[in-house]
Structure 1
Amino acid sequence: MTHSSHKTGSKLWSHRSASRRQAMQIGAVGLLGLGTNHLAGLREATAADGVAPSGKAKSCIFIFLSGGLAQHESFDMKPDAPENIRGEFRPISTQTPGLQICEHLPMLAERSRMWALCRSLTHPINEHSAAHHVMLTGHSDLPTGFSPNKPSREDRASIAALAGYATTPRNNLPPAVVLPERLVHSSGRIIPGQHAGNMGTQHDPWMIEASPFHNTSYGAFPEYHFDHQDRGKPDDRLFQAPQLTLPDGLGMKTVQGRLQLLETLKHQRRHLTDFQAVANFDRMRQGAVSLMTKSSVHEALNVTKADEKSLDRYGRNSFGWSLLMARRLVAAGVNLVQVNLGNDETWDTHGNAFPHLKNNLFPPTDRAVSALLDDLKSTGELDETLIVMAGEFGRTPQITLLEKHYKQAGRDHWGAAQSVLFAGGGIQGGNVIGKTDAHGAYPSERPVKPENFAATIYDALGIPATAAWRDAQDRPHHIYNGEPIAGLS
């Protein structure tokens, strides 16, 4: 992506540390007692120091495939490799001459002029939780003291949190949202890398919990749910977005009374009159109420009651509903929506890989992503909406059979190579960046790191290359840690 124009909505902290800390104190106030920590704290506009991002996109939909999509079974097939590497699936041609993908992604194949691939994303981690942190934060290395078993406020901030911090909220809505569930291990522990980490809780993205947790069922329920190990436990979950209504006993009169309590903060606000923090503070207050009163938000969340045509195109399942919700939220004004297509390890195809991908994972994904592309294209919004789809890693070249757990074969974890899909936001459809070796094991051309992946999102959203956030000790932390992937646009 080329650097051409500065997006005026990008935000940075200024260098006046005393005022910044005062602003953070005010931003931490629970305005309504309704858990508003998902809203961005008070921010200050600064110049971009002369470095301008491309800023083609108003928004980004980050589709995350927890568990790790097998590149050999999707976007980087190796039909000429030995049988124990190429697998059961066969490639089909797309609308882009010379570009082939898996036969079980026919709808995406028909739309190849709308998306591009990077086949050479690589990092050194083969463990699920650590690799989640790597890909969700855009850092190849792990922070000191990192624990895969427990998220920590010493973890790094997620891409969603940083994008939410560094872009201007539109229409009083949270700038960053994660749906339809937070990623939870089958043991019940939360997967690291999903929140704002060392930036603080006030910068956590807004979590929409629409998909109840189930520790042995995966996929796009109710149509395509499955269990990796076929343990036979029932899955009666309902996909239901939260109702943004006031808590019991808290009517609007009470809310108005609580809002008046802000007058007690006047002594703090006097110290903030030399910049726009007061106006931002008022917008933060308005945003808390807007979440409950804005009709477009209620409509965006009420996806299971969408019109029949939309449900037919996206699919009547958690994958389709999630991407329809994401599409509506960006239309309503959310800057970045992370969509987890399945809970933790849904795409972890160690065994029974070929029937589960063919019958349960690819059909709802192919349909819903294609519907999203069609929707955005038909309204002219695709050029201003970046879509990215990735997991925490790829899968091993060799097919293996873990007889103790699975009846049929699959592939193990593999951080060294994965394929990532990009669309919209200035992406040139049909492009293919990078290449892996004959077995799909390692990049042989143009290796790309998670830092480049994250930078591509930040750049498309118009976040300046010099952007940084500052911690409580006033130390700067750069948002960019690599260059955007070249050649996508």
Structure 2
Amino acid sequence: MASRTGRTSEAQPWHPQMTRRLAVQAGAVGLLGLGIEHLGALRAMGGPATPKGRDDRAVIYIFLSGGLSQLDSFDLKPDAPAEIRGEFRPIATRTPGLSICEHLPKLAERSGLWSLVRSLTHSSNDHSAGHHIMLSGRSDLPSGFDPTKPRPSDWPSIASIAGALCPPRNNLPPAVVLPEKLIHSTGRAIPGQFGGEMGAKHDPWFIEASPFDPTAYGAYPTYEFDHQQRPPAGAKTKRFQTPSLGLPEGFSESRLAGRLGLLATLDRQRSALENSAAAGGFDDERQGAVSLLTDRKVKQAFDVLHAPDAVLDRYGRHTFGWSLLMAKRLVEAGVKLVQVNLGNNETWDNHGNIFPHLKDKLFPPTDQAVSALLDDLNASGLLDSTLVVMAGEFGRTPKISRLAEFYKLPGRDHWGPAQSVLLAGGGVQGGRVIGSTDKIGGYPRSDPHPPENFAATIYNALGLPSNVSWRDPQDRPHFVYHGEPISALM
């Protein structure tokens, strides 16, 4: 693949080479983590808008941290014993012969837009290892893997590879992650979501739109919950903060050279900022930062909380809805890969109370927001060029379990051997089911696919050729593909 520098498929990945010392701040959150120097490089390298075609391909990777139960969502086993099948019943979709959970009615209505892989499989039942596996697309753990923290020897995340090998468009980085990093309840960052052996400079850009709270789960504020149903300690504090791009009142060149903060009245100061930059008051990199901060298209992409009421009603006024609406707008603005973490702090880790939590707290906002995303992408014509995938780090155990000391009701434990993955758009034909599991939903019965094939499907959807690689500081090539795209989807 030709890169921005004209190199072949073994090209050094493109990314601005600079520190994060000068981070552009948007209120309490960093604007994609970009420093002023990053922005200058992005503008200089970005060039004119890319014509429609190969370079308008994009991916939205919806990640369900904690692990979605395949048996209670997309691979129900109604004829299995009660301790396997659980409480939910299947409903028919628009696709003949395809049934999914009764609590996903909107997705059932739209089955012509998506397909399922019911036989994605890997060998780990550990959260940290599972995150690393599914976020990097590598089944084998790297030497020295530490489940308690990210390490420089970790495999690079799919988002990091996309950020390195896809050229930027419209002043935006090629890959972003939102609405927050994946943080364990203990406060540690979960490995697998960073640049790893590519180096920290290739960490994806994180839009951290919510403060960390170890006790809050789900699609807050509407569907916030606690896994163990403990009494609330006080008023809910979890909130969603979308960036309001701009500079503080009374800004100066010295302040701009430091950290830029929140401006509630950006529109009122827009012309003053532009005039200051045009007058030569800032160097080239700082002018680039001001240009991005005053770009109406970029501001609109992030300002999801003030979207029209009809749009918010469709997506939902909760973090799942706001996050997927932002993902859609970022793809429209030119971002190539958006990873959306639907649920912080291993939200989908339902060791107990699984049926009420899925029915009342997790499925309603997911069904609503994902359906709205597919509708909008389909109506705008972007679904043809945008692959939407939804997966977690693993599935859940076939047999229902009970941890009475922590949970009032039963749940399911971790299960790497089988999970169901939803895919739509980007060339995927709707209404298909790839692979199957055995009668208890525990192991693939046909057409098993490892995470390497899942990752290859994403890279293929981004237009990356099968021989593409990146080179480390010692000029050694590291190939991106470790499996084959799932051809039966196309």
TM over 0.5: yes
CA contact (8 A) 1:10 1:167 kept: no
Deviation at 1:70, TM superposition (A): 0.1
Deviation at 1:198, TM superposition (A): 1.2
User: Which residue of structure 2 lines up, in the alignment, with residue 243 of structure 1?
Assistant: 244
Q: Which moved more, 1:107-116 or 1:300-309?
A: 300-309
- Alpha-carbon deviations, 1:347-366, whole Å to 9, x = none? 00110000000000000000
Q: For the structure 1 residues 192 and 30, does the alpha-carbon distance in structure 2 shift closer, same or farther, using more than 3 Å as the test?
A: closer
- Alpha-carbon deviations, 1:422-459, whole Å to 9, x = none? 00111100011111000000001011011100110000
Distance in 1 between the 2:378 and 2:415 partners? 34
SS at match of 2:332: helix
User: Which residue of structure 2 lines up, in the alignment, with residue 439 of structure 1?
Assistant: 440
Answering whether residue 34 of structure 2 is matched by residue 36 of structure 1, we say yes
User: Which residue of structure 1 lines up, in the alignment, with residue 150 of structure 2?
Assistant: 151
User: Which residue of structure 2 lines up, in the alignment, with residue 214 of structure 1?
Assistant: 213
Distance in 2 between the 1:201 and 1:442 partners? 36
SS at match of 1:237: coil
User: Which residue of structure 2 lines up, in the alignment, with residue 228 of structure 1?
Assistant: 227
**Alignment-mate amino acid for residue 470 of structure 1:** R
Q: For the structure 1 residues 68 and 320, does the alpha-carbon distance in structure 2 shift closer, same or farther, using more than 3 Å as the test?
A: same
**Amino-acid identity (%):** 60
CA contact (8 A) 1:69 1:395 kept: yes
Map 1:25-174 to 2 at 5 A. 27-28=17-18, 34=24, 36=34, 58-174=57-173
Deviation at 1:286, TM superposition (A): 7.9
Distance in 2 between the 1:254 and 1:296 partners? 19
CA contact (8 A) 1:66 1:348 kept: yes
Distance in 2 between the 1:400 and 1:452 partners? 31
SS at match of 1:78: coil
User: Which residue of structure 1 lines up, in the alignment, with residue 418 of structure 2?
Assistant: 417
Distance in 1 between the 2:7 and 2:283 partners? 26
Distance in 2 between the 1:453 and 1:130 partners? 17
CA contact (8 A) 2:9 2:468 kept: no
CA contact (8 A) 2:137 2:454 kept: yes
**Alignment-mate amino acid for residue 18 of structure 2:** A
- Alpha-carbon deviations, 1:242-288, whole Å to 9, x = none? 3333475435658966635x8xxxxxxxxxxxxxxxxxxxxxx8865
Answering whether residue 173 of structure 2 is matched by residue 188 of structure 1, we say no
Q: For the structure 1 residues 76 and 462, does the alpha-carbon distance in structure 2 shift closer, same or farther, using more than 3 Å as the test?
A: same
Deviation at 1:100, TM superposition (A): 0.2
SS at match of 2:283: helix
Distance in 1 between the 2:426 and 2:10 partners? 34
Map 1:239-278 to 2 at 5 A. 239-246=240-247, 249=252, 250-251=255-256, 259-260=283-284
Distance in 2 between the 1:112 and 1:414 partners? 26
Answering whether residue 380 of structure 2 is matched by residue 356 of structure 1, we say no
Distance in 1 between the 2:20 and 2:431 partners? 47
Q: What's the Cα RMSD here?
A: 2.8
User: Which residue of structure 2 lines up, in the alignment, with residue 405 of structure 1?
Assistant: 406
SS at match of 2:299: helix
SS at match of 1:109: helix
Distance in 1 between the 2:215 and 2:158 partners? 28
Deviation at 1:11, TM superposition (A): 7.9
**Alignment-mate amino acid for residue 335 of structure 2:** V
Q: For the structure 1 residues 11 and 374, does the alpha-carbon distance in structure 2 shift closer, same or farther, using more than 3 Å as the test?
A: farther
User: Which residue of structure 2 lines up, in the alignment, with residue 462 of structure 1?
Assistant: 463
Consecutive unaligned residues in structure 2, runs of 5 or more:
25-32, 46-52, 257-272
- Alpha-carbon deviations, 1:43-91, whole Å to 9, x = none? 99xxxxxxxxx96961111000000000000000000111100000000
Equivalences, count: 448
SS at match of 1:487: helix
Relative to the length of structure 1, the TM-score reads: 0.86
Q: Which moved more, 1:160-169 or 1:99-108?
A: 160-169
Distance in 1 between the 2:66 and 2:291 partners? 35
Distance in 1 between the 2:155 and 2:327 partners? 25
- Alpha-carbon deviations, 1:395-432, whole Å to 9, x = none? 00000011111000010000000000000111100011
Consecutive unaligned residues in structure 1, runs of 5 or more:
1-5, 45-53, 263-284
Deviation at 1:36, TM superposition (A): 3.0
CA contact (8 A) 2:177 2:205 kept: yes
User: Which residue of structure 2 lines up, in the alignment, with residue 295 of structure 1?
Assistant: 296
User: Which residue of structure 1 lines up, in the alignment, with residue 337 of structure 2?
Assistant: 336
Deviation at 1:170, TM superposition (A): 1.3
Distance in 2 between the 1:392 and 1:12 partners? 36
Deviation at 1:291, TM superposition (A): 3.6
- Alpha-carbon deviations, 1:172-226, whole Å to 9, x = none? 2111010001010000000111111111122221100112211111000111000
CA contact (8 A) 2:9 2:467 kept: no
SS at match of 1:387: strand
SS at match of 1:27: coil
Distance in 1 between the 2:415 and 2:451 partners? 14
